Amino acid sequence: MPNGGHGSTAGRHASSPPGSTPFRDAVPHDRTAHAPEWARIFEAGPDDGEQIWQALATAVGDTPVSTSRDRAPHGVVCGVEMTVTINDRTASVATAWHYVDEVAAPRLVTAYPSP
């Protein structure tokens, strides 16, 4: 797990489930609860998913874990609050990442931007 919940996820690359695009069914998308925030804060829409994913995947490697919850036997969920720039706009994004086990790459659970 990421340094006992106190360090970054450095050394592991964020991933998405096999056969999926990290933001295709997550954010931003018309059917998600957070789509209005992504549109308002970053002027981001469904076509910006890859750009958002790259910004989050890059930032998570350099940002300390702020919360960690053991969900044994299902792994650990870590909260990471980061600052990202998308479409020339910079804002905070609260994220949650799931680790299946100690050697697994983190998988994005959710990402919520705030001004």
Region at 4 (left for phi over 0; alpha for psi -120 to 50; beta for the rest): left
* Separation between Cα atoms, residue 92 and residue 70, nearest integer Å: 25
Q: What is the dihedral of CA 5, 100, 109, 76, to 10 degrees?
A: -30
Looking at residue 24, its amino acid is R
Percent of the chain with pLDDT over 70: 72
Q: What is the pTM of this model?
A: 0.74
DSSP structure class, residue 15: B
Which of 19-28, 40-49, 91-100 is least confident? Answer: 19-28
For the record, the structure tokens of 43 come out as 């002027």
Q: How far apart are CA 25 and CA 65, in angstroms?
A: 24
pLDDT digits (tens, 9 = 90+) for 56-102: 989 988 899 999 999 999 999 999 999 999 999 999 999 999 999 98
Domain edges within the chain: 3-114
DSSP state of 74: S
First to last CA, the chain: 30
Q: Mean pLDDT for the chain?
A: 79
CA distance 73 to 87: 39
